Structure 1
Amino acid sequence: MHKDVQRIETMKIANLIMMLLGVFLFVACNRDDTPPPLPTPRTDALTLDLDYAEKSYLIDGIGRAELATCEDGDTAEFIVDNQQIRVRFLGIDTPEASHFYEPWGYQATQFVCGKLEVAETIVLERNFDGVLRDTYGRYLAFIWADGRLINLEVIEKAYSEARGAVNLKYGSALMEAMFAAEETGRRIHGETDPLFDYSETGKDTTLGSIVNHPDDYNFKKVNVTGVVTRMLGIHAYIQADGYGMYFYIGHNPSSDLAVGNRVRLDNVRAVIDLERRGGIHLTDFPRAQVRVLETGIITEPLAIGLSAFTSERLGRLIVVSDLTIQAVTEHIDGSLTLAVRDASGQSTTILHARKVEPSNRLDVAQLSVGDTVDVTGLLRNSPSGWHILLVDREDLVIYD
């Protein structure tokens, strides 16, 4: 009898332990570790107190604008009064996400660009001191997107500190937002960026491996070798073993990056960015090491048709023949696009970008709808589809 009671008590304890373990596992498996979204009470409460109807930012200090391109979390280009202007956002300084990357820079860029790209109404507002440009020639503004002050919201979302806010119209709100965000310990105020590769050195790999497995290399530091096939301004396209890639270097040119040079790039970062850079590309030039291994190498373009445009050939030097010009469009930023079609009826565009050196620019007067052309250029992608990047005007052969 005593043994039976003891056995029953032991089973009860065992069952209780199993029940508690089950509850623990249930809670652990169903726990949502996603941190709650950061509130934006100051942005929610703030309203634009100036009339911008029929006014111009360039003349009156306030006015509507149209987004042209979004560069990163604190810089964008807008169309104002039929001009494309580069604007630096007042009072903030988000982590970098262009020619080099910093923790939380990508997320800050996605947040800001996402807001601007869907905004129905964008208003630029000058500070009350009347200063329109900074020392780099960039315009300075507060950015209102559908009635919300982006400069303030990006601070409340812990993507930026308040910088130079003391003498700004909304300086008090920016500072209060920063102090509140610091208390959360979120993002730039204490969290590790889960996307960022904090490695000190890059991993040896090939362009082919990056192109074929882009998700495995996104934001990773790498070491690669390739031949410079074309220069887009100061930026380079490199190629190795039939694979190509864009190397965005920022603002400072490098004499080591010249057409025909075989170079080794150490500690560069591979980043997928379809909207701004045409897909997977290399960046982090300020922190990279560039070594010239060989000079004078000629890279022959791959002859293909429009049906052979694939992701494996992204960034590669190609030549496409017998294309007929359907339309010629000059853009406000100085770039030029040619809508072209092949004999089978397939279409694409040839982009002559604004970064092209003036001496290499096409003479629009020589281009006519109906002309047949052969084009040598770089295969690129974008949200609107494939296109051929024409860098050198000599790479376009026109047949009357």
Structure 2
Amino acid sequence: MKKAFFLLLLAVFAFSLVGCVENPPVIEDTRYTLTDLTGKTQSQIEAIFEEVGITVQFREVQSSTVAAGTFIRYVGYNVGDKVETTVSIRIEIAIPVPSAPTINGADEASVYVSVQGNPPTFDIYAGVTATDFQGNDIPFGNFFYVLEIKDSNQNTLSEVNFYQIGVYYVTYQAMNSGLSTTVTRTINVVVPPFDTNNTDNLQLAVSYAGKSFINDGIGVVTITTHTDADTTNFRDSVTGERFTVRYLGIDAPEATSKYEPWGIKAANFVRETLDNAETIILQAEGVRTDGNERYLAWVWYIKDGKTRLLNLELVEEAYAWTSAVASTQYGSIFVTAQAETQLTGRRIYGEVDPDFDYSTGGTPIEIGALLDNFNDYIAKKVTITGVITSKVGNSIYIEQNNRGIYMYAGYNMTNELQIGYEVTIQGLVPAVYFQSKQLSNYTIDNMILLSTDNPVTISTIAANQVSQYVGRVVRIEDLTVTQIQLSQSGLTTDAYTVVARDSNNNTINIRVDDYTAKVVPSYTFSVGAQFSVTAPVTQFNSGYQLMLPGMGSIEFNN
């Protein structure tokens, strides 16, 4: 009985074992398999493990092979390991290995030399930056600074001398993590370009429409004649008055009584500029006239619709120096323009004028040969010999073998030149003025007195013969005054012209300039008065006239 019961239990147990083999129980795996995180950043890794609930601790480790900020390895685990989601794992994140800082922006630079009125504007710190090995900016201060400044001779300087042309070397140094970087920058302080940037940027800011320069101090004018680079003759467009203007703020090389290098070229520049201008405007400032009773003015002209100040342009073109300009409204611009232009060494600041005769004496030539070949000698220097036949003001007429020519001596006294003196004068410059052939550039040092008390031949002619006696002294008798023409030349009102007829009804003009008019005023003549005159003949534009030397040249008949 007991045996049978035991067998029964054994059978039941065996059956139960068979049942377990056929239907085993299901066990769930809650562990997480660690994946390869190569290239993942810390924030990306945090997002991955936050999703599965695993706590992650990061440790920064310097690495030169793994990109900064990305996964290096698991600490204590390997890729593919299974971990419980309740555990905390450590992961190494790469940080850069410390390296020397980087300096940027210290490129070679060229800077225009600074001049008076135009101080340095270049900043050796501007645009230069330094960063550490992590890309953080290092500001100028204790860890980023200018280490030294040297010139081309390796002299140590406290700063770059932007007022001195040359090469300078600026060395910057940056420090971080015990490491440093130095960079040397080359700064070339160079001559500014030869341009008209100051003229280009300046505009006339005062209204001139409908105004008169003579009456209002500003107004539109037209040219009557050109003199040289800093003197021009104009007509007021409102009043119609003719007058002479001396340009304010400048002094140009001489091209009238004296000739200097670049003088003719400067005069030609003014002539071409004003002749091609759309409009010419004169602007007064301060004292209206100079000691020679010429008006003073800023000379503006319009080109392509824009106003340009010719006075300033002459300075920037190296055709003129500044003069008495500092206290004027445009003074600072002129000072800067001249300083910049002078550095270029152009024209009046050092260049040889290719067309100027630098010789002292010039070519010896007879007066007749000079007159017959005058164009070949314009702006060249010549030496002439002759007898002084007349003197008008400080200037003279000189003859040789019945050929004569006018020599303009300017405003300087010439007591050493007297009628009847035979002289040799070197270095005279032939020029054409109002279509009249004349000589200039006289200096007493170039005059040799040969003899005195030489006779002067005076030919008595009819008024219609004057063209045959240009440069010579003639006598015309039995003249009758028909008109007295007073000059319209600004404040210079002394000069005038006497129009007369001879006995054959030929008309002749006798010009009385400012110098002579002071001793022979216009009221000396009256319409209908009869007289004879002895005076030199000169050409004036397309006509001819006599130049009255003084009261002793007139004989009234009644």
- TM (norm. structure 2) is 0.54
SS at match of 1:268: strand
Letter in structure 1 aligned against 2:469: R
2:513 equivalent among 353, 373, 376: 353
Provide the rounded CA distance (Å) in 2 between the counterparts of 1:363 and 1:218. Answer: 39
- Larger mean Cα displacement after TM superposition, 90-99 or 298-307: 298-307
| 1:89 CA displacement | 1.9
2:266 equivalent among 101, 108, 111: 108
Provide the rounded CA distance (Å) in 1 between the counterparts of 2:451 and 2:443. Answer: 22
Within 5 A, what are the aligned runs for 1:288-327? Answer: 288-310=445-467, 313-327=469-483
Provide the rounded CA distance (Å) in 1 between the counterparts of 2:460 and 2:431. Answer: 26
Aligned Cα root-mean-square deviation (Å): 3.7
| 1:86 CA displacement | 5.6
| Structure 2 residue 384 is the aligned partner of structure 1 residue 224 | yes
Contact 2:274 2:280 in 1 (8 A): yes
Partner of residue 285, structure 1: 442
Provide the rounded CA distance (Å) in 1 between the counterparts of 2:483 and 2:448. Answer: 42
SS at match of 1:108: helix
Contact 2:422 2:450 in 1 (8 A): yes
Within 5 A, what are the aligned runs for 1:263-282? Answer: 263-265=423-425, 267-275=426-434, 279-282=436-439
2:297 equivalent among 138, 141, 153: 141
Deviations 1:131-184 (A, max 9, x none): 556688765431224543221232344322444555443345445655675687
Contact 1:304 1:320 in 2 (8 A): yes
Within 5 A, what are the aligned runs for 1:47-66? Answer: 47-53=203-209, 61-63=217-219
Question: Identity over the aligned pairs, expressed in percent?
Answer: 32
| 1:349 CA displacement | 1.9
Contact 1:73 1:109 in 2 (8 A): yes
Contact 1:270 1:280 in 2 (8 A): no
| 1:322 CA displacement | 4.3
Partner of residue 407, structure 2: 247
Within 5 A, what are the aligned runs for 1:380-399? Answer: 380-399=538-557
| 1:226 CA displacement | 2.1
Letter in structure 2 aligned against 1:340: A
Deviations 1:268-311 (A, max 9, x none): 31322222xx622222223642233333333131223344344x
Provide the rounded CA distance (Å) in 2 between the counterparts of 1:68 and 1:100. Answer: 22
Change (3 A) 1:98 1:325: same
SS at match of 2:251: coil
- Larger mean Cα displacement after TM superposition, 204-213 or 353-362: 353-362
Partner of residue 91, structure 1: 249
Provide the rounded CA distance (Å) in 1 between the counterparts of 2:332 and 2:395. Answer: 40
| 1:256 CA displacement | 1.3
| 1:342 CA displacement | 4.8
Provide the rounded CA distance (Å) in 1 between the counterparts of 2:341 and 2:516. Answer: 42
Provide the rounded CA distance (Å) in 1 between the counterparts of 2:296 and 2:458. Answer: 43
SS at match of 2:207: coil
| 1:186 CA displacement | 5.2
Contact 1:263 1:292 in 2 (8 A): yes
- Structure 1: runs of 5+ lacking an equivalent: 1-37
Deviations 1:358-394 (A, max 9, x none): 2344534x4215x554332111112242112122234
Partner of residue 362, structure 2: 202
Contact 2:480 2:501 in 1 (8 A): yes
Provide the rounded CA distance (Å) in 2 between the counterparts of 1:281 and 1:101. Answer: 13
SS at match of 2:543: coil
Larger helix share, 1 or 2? 1
| 1:121 CA displacement | 5.4
Within 5 A, what are the aligned runs for 1:186-201? Answer: 187-189=347-349, 191-201=351-361
Within 5 A, what are the aligned runs for 1:113-128? Answer: 113=271, 115-116=273-274, 122-127=280-285
Contact 2:479 2:500 in 1 (8 A): yes
Contact 1:197 1:220 in 2 (8 A): yes
Change (3 A) 1:61 1:338: closer
Partner of residue 150, structure 2: none
Letter in structure 2 aligned against 1:50: V
Letter in structure 1 aligned against 2:449: V
Contact 1:63 1:124 in 2 (8 A): yes
Contact 1:245 1:282 in 2 (8 A): yes
| 1:238 CA displacement | 1.7
| 1:95 CA displacement | 0.9
- Larger mean Cα displacement after TM superposition, 102-111 or 371-380: 371-380
Q: Which has the higher contact order (CA 8 A, sep 6+)?
A: 1
Contact 1:219 1:269 in 2 (8 A): no
Change (3 A) 1:304 1:117: farther
| 1:92 CA displacement | 2.1
Contact 1:256 1:291 in 2 (8 A): no
- Structure 2: runs of 5+ lacking an equivalent: 1-193
Provide the rounded CA distance (Å) in 1 between the counterparts of 2:472 and 2:519. Answer: 23
| Structure 2 residue 151 is the aligned partner of structure 1 residue 151 | no
Partner of residue 12, structure 1: none
| 1:253 CA displacement | 0.9
Provide the rounded CA distance (Å) in 1 between the counterparts of 2:494 and 2:226. Answer: 17
| 1:197 CA displacement | 0.8
Contact 1:256 1:290 in 2 (8 A): no
